[in-house]
Structures are given as C-alpha cells and as structure tokens.
C-alpha cells in the first residue's frame, strides 16, 4: 500500500491525492490566510502558487503526500491534510498539515480526517506517526489532544513561518500499537 494510493475514505470524509486539477478548489478557498501563519517559509517566496507547486513537487518525488478532503454527505470541499518526512526504511511519517475551512472546523471533521490518515499510515506499515505543531496553533493542539498521542519534545525557535515569525514546535507521536488502538477508538466514537 502506497501512502498516496486512491481510495482513502471513511463514513465522514473522502481524501483525494492532490493533483493539478485541485488548483482552483484550493485557490478559491480561504486557505491562503492560514498559509502564512502556520506554514514554514519555502525557497521561492510566499505565494500560494509557490506552495501549491512545492506540494505537487514533494508528492512527485515521494517526500510528501497531500490530500484534499471532501465530505461524504454532500461532496463539499472540507480541507487539506497530508504526510511529509516519509521514511520508508524506518517506516515513519509525519502529519504535515491539516487545514479545514473556518466554517467547518469541528472536532468530528478533524478526527475523521486523522482517522483516515492513521488508517493509511497503519496500512502502509508505519512504525511511527508524528505531528510537529506550532505551539500557537491552539485549534490543532486542542483537536490533537482528543487523539491522545504522546508529547515527546519542544523545539524552541525551530523554524520561520512564511510570514517571517520564528516559532517553537511541539512534537507528538504514536507508535504502531498506539496507532491501531486509536483507529479502533475513533471508529467506535465517530461511526
């Protein structure tokens, strides 16, 4: 099972691997207001076009996989999420990003997207899944708390965001048995 394989879904969301056909959907969303605050600076400048190209290039090279989320109930665009720091030898991945439109930011949506990501990581035979989060991102930190990963570290002045602010990052992770347990728990709670 490849991380980027199609067919990733559960009862709440469907995740499609990002492709050029998603460009207008992404560009017409409200994501750009969040990009500069939460995303790390990239070579080539801070434009949504640059970020979109970088996501496609990272996906093509196997360094990352970005998914576009859609609600199963009405097929509405529900955000983006993805993996980066993919290490096939050591079977570990990092949740690269998660963003939902502001009017859709609910615990159920976040958990449904993370359920799909955890399931894909588990099917890929991941030994470890990690989240590295800006310490000021209260929404994601609060939602991640419901998944109950282990807090492993605090990296001070870790990176510069696209808007030029140096941020601290908290690292959370789950090992393979914890991933399996969380998948089962989320299935019981969500579906």
* Per-residue pLDDT, 10: 97
Whether pTM > 0.85 for this model: the answer is: yes
Helix H, strand E, coil C: the string for the chain is CCCCCCCEECCCEEEEECCHHHHHHHHCCCCHHHHHHHCECCCCCCCHHHHHHHHHHHHHHCCEEEEEEEECCCCCEEEEEEEEEEECCCCEEEEEEEECCHHHCCHHHHHHHHHHHHHHHHHCCCCEEEEEEECCCHHHHHHHHCCCCEEEEEEEEEEEECCCCEEEEEEEEEEHHHHHHHHHHHHHHHC
Asked whether the beta carbons of 92 and 124 are under 8 A apart, the reply is: no
Location of structure tokens 């955000």 = 79
| pLDDT of the residue at 40 | 79
Alpha-carbon dihedral angle through residues 97, 100, 77, 107, given to the nearest 10 degrees: 110
* Biggest CA pair distance of the chain: 44
pLDDT confidence of residue 79 = 94
Query: One digit per residue, pLDDT tens: the chain, 191 residues?
Result: 899 999 999 999 999 999 999 999 999 998 877 776 777 777 777 788 888 998 999 999 999 999 999 999 999 999 999 999 999 999 999 998 898 998 888 899 999 999 999 999 999 999 999 999 999 999 899 999 999 999 999 999 999 988 888 999 999 999 999 999 999 999 999 98
| CA count, 13 A, side-chain hemisphere, 91 | 13
Burial of 113 (0-12, 13-18, 19+ CB in 10 A): buried
Q: What is the pLDDT of residue 30?
A: 87
Q: State the pLDDT at residue 84.
A: 95
């Amino acid at each position: 099972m490849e991380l980027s394989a199609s067919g990733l879904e559960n009862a709440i969301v469907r995740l499609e691997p990002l492709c050029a056909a998603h460009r207008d959907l992404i560009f017409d969303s409200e994501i750009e207001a969040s990009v500069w605050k939460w995303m790390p600076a990239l070579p080539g400048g801070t434009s949504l076009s640059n970020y979109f190209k970088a996501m496609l290039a990272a996906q093509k090279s196997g360094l990352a996989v970005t998914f576009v989320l859609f609600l199963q109930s009405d097929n509405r665009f529900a955000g983006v999420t993805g993996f980066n720091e993919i290490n096939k030898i050591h079977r570990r991945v990092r949740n690269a990003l998660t963003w939902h439109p502001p009017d859709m930011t609910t615990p159920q949506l976040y958990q449904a997207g993370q359920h799909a990501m955890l399931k894909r990581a588990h099917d890929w035979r991941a030994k470890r899944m990690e989240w590295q989060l800006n310490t000021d991102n209260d929404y994601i930190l609060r939602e991640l708390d419901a998944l109950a990963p282990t807090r492993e570290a605090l990296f001070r002045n870790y990176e510069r965001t696209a808007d030029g602010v140096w941020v601290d990052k908290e690292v959370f992770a789950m090992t393979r048995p914890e991933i399996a347990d969380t998948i089962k728990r989320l299935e019981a709670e969500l579906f």
